[in-house]
Amino acid sequence: MSKILLTSGCSFSECINHHISTWPRHLAKELEQYGYIKHTSSAMGSQGNGLISRGTMYNVIEALKTYDPKDILVGVMWSASHRYDFRCTNPSDLLFVQEKTHNGWIENPTQFVKGAPKNWVILNHHWGADQDGHRNPEAKLFYKHFYDEIGMTIRTLEHILRLQFFLQTKNVPYFFTNAMDYNIVSKALLETENQEFQYLYDQLDLDNYLPVNSEYRWVRENSKRLDLWGPNELKGPWTHPKNEHHKEFVDNVICPFLIKKGIIAVDN
């Protein structure tokens, strides 16, 4: 029987644009020889971990209607915990929608259930800056008055654990990883071992995480094609991997992990 690959994440994982092949596209191509004929991605640039978790769970539930759990593989690259999403009854009432400054490179508002109305709103912390085309009054309001780092850390850990526990209950093979270092819990918060989130952090099943801090860190420390990044990209705290970087990540990190876990078998 054929198998299916389900992936999600943010811009590091999106499969919408044609100008770049991110790691899911490279992985899907590599896994075809192991019977993974179909690939479904719910990744999108700028979306946070709430939509990543919900969209992945929905796709798994749909896949379980026609696939055995062992024939499903889930791969999720988690985004930044400071990103936020919420469901809005009337998106047309939102100021950033009325002013048509809703970040045209992504679908916002969006949805994750096929055929459902697009009522889910994405907010990013820098969109309230009122510059560079990022004017978003709702983002400015939220991050000024309602954002709390510990609260958002807790929320993201709950999103991850909800999906982790769900996949484990359904016996669906999976792997998790991070786009960037400290994107779930900041370095400063990790060092405090804050009791409000530590009990959740301790529940993460790290055995099903790729053996890297993040894709970005791995690329910076191991890629043979750092020349593909310009000087300004190398100076920044992070930048998006190029096609070749994603391919290296699949060949050197993801596939060896899947072999080690026994998810795919290589003939000797």
Mean pLDDT of the chain: 93
Residue 103's pLDDT is 60
Q: What are phi and psi of 105, to 5 degrees?
A: -80, -10
The residues that bridge with 78 in the sheet, in sequence order, are 178
pLDDT at 92 over 70: yes
CA distance 70 to 256: 19
pLDDT at 57 over 90: yes
Residue 172 lies in a domain: yes
Cβ(136)–Cβ(123) under 8 Å?
yes
Domain count, the chain: 2
* Confidence band of 234 (pLDDT split at 50, 70, 90): confident
* Confidence band of 127 (pLDDT split at 50, 70, 90): confident
Residue 268 lies in a domain: no
Residue 206's pLDDT is 97
CA distance 20 to 267: 31
CA distance 13 to 49: 13
| CATH assignment at residue 31 | 3.40.50.1110
Residue range 70-84: mean pLDDT, rounded: 98
The number of CA neighbours under 13 Å toward the Cβ of 43 is: 29
Burial class (CB in 10 A: 0-12, 13-18, 19+), 160: buried
Strands (E), 9-141: 36-41, 72-78, 84-87, 120-123
Residue range 35-47: mean pLDDT, rounded: 97
pLDDT at 268 over 60: no
Residue range 28-36: mean pLDDT, rounded: 97
Q: Give the domain range for residue 220.
A: 3-81+149-260
* Confidence band of 135 (pLDDT split at 50, 70, 90): confident
Identify which has the larger pLDDT, 237 or 190: 190
Looking at the fold, whether 171 and 40 belong to one and the same domain comes out as yes
Residue range 168-185: mean pLDDT, rounded: 97
Cβ(215)–Cβ(241) under 8 Å?
yes
